[in-house]
Amino acid sequence: MKNFFLCMILSLAFSTIGAQNLAVLKYKGGGDWYSNPTSLPNLIAFCNENIHTAMNEQPDTVDPGSIDLFQYPLVHMTGHGNVFFTDEEAENLRNYLQSGGFLHIDDNYGMHEYLPKELKKIFPNQELVELPASHPIFSAAFKFSQGLPKIHEHDGKRPQALGLYANNRLVVLFTTESDLGDGWEDTEVHNDPESVRQKALQMGANIVKYAFEN
């Protein structure tokens, strides 16, 4: 196990030197992990133009139990429904996050009731904690003095950015009652005003910059 863990660390370190690309997490449980197909391509284009990343135009897809996970400094997860990780997938995700990886989970409406129990498999001794508006992720590239922006109505509750930590580093960001991914979609998908889309894209760029640099 120690040798395996060391290989994971080296894999992540070597992969992030050569490229910094994004991947979508293809999880089990019935939730639509593939939702918002135009979101990440639009976010990638925005980041490449505005914060000088050089990511591939299209995100990859990665399974939570795959060694390929360690190729990506940032993995994105979204959907509307159930989420399930096997024990092996949870261990792989834990090793990935403790080795320098970052997981952004964006609730596309309906994940909140299923997600906490699966995150417990990854970090059994932690509870999701809300990030204060002063957290560096809200000013990594663009300033959000009030914290996470509200993009879509959902249940009318305030948006929340919740996190989990490893070695005093934020490694899991769960955004809920905001729906950043919908804001990243092509304009005609939700007909959001451009000002709303810009807020979503700017917050997304903050997440990318924070994940790549921390």
- Structure confidence by residue, pLDDT tens digits, 1-59: 444 554 445 444 434 433 689 999 999 987 788 888 899 999 999 999 999 999 999 99
- Structure confidence by residue, pLDDT tens digits, 61-109: 999 999 999 999 999 999 878 899 999 999 999 999 999 999 999 998 7
Q: How many CB atoms lie within 10 A of CB 202?
A: 19
Q: How many domains does the chain have?
A: 1
The residues, ordered by sequence, that sit 6+ positions from 165 with a Cβ below 8 Å of its Cβ are 126, 171
Domain that includes residue 151, residue range: 2-213
116-144 mean pLDDT? 97
CA-CA distance, 53 to 106, in Å (whole number)?
21
**Which tokens belong to 195?**
């000002």
- Whole-prediction pTM value? 0.89
Q: Closest Cα to residue 150, out of 193, 112, 104?
A: 193
**Cα angle value 108/113/119 (rounded, 5°):** 90
Q: Closest Cα to residue 202, out of 18, 83, 49?
A: 49
CATH no. for residue 145? 3.40.50.12140
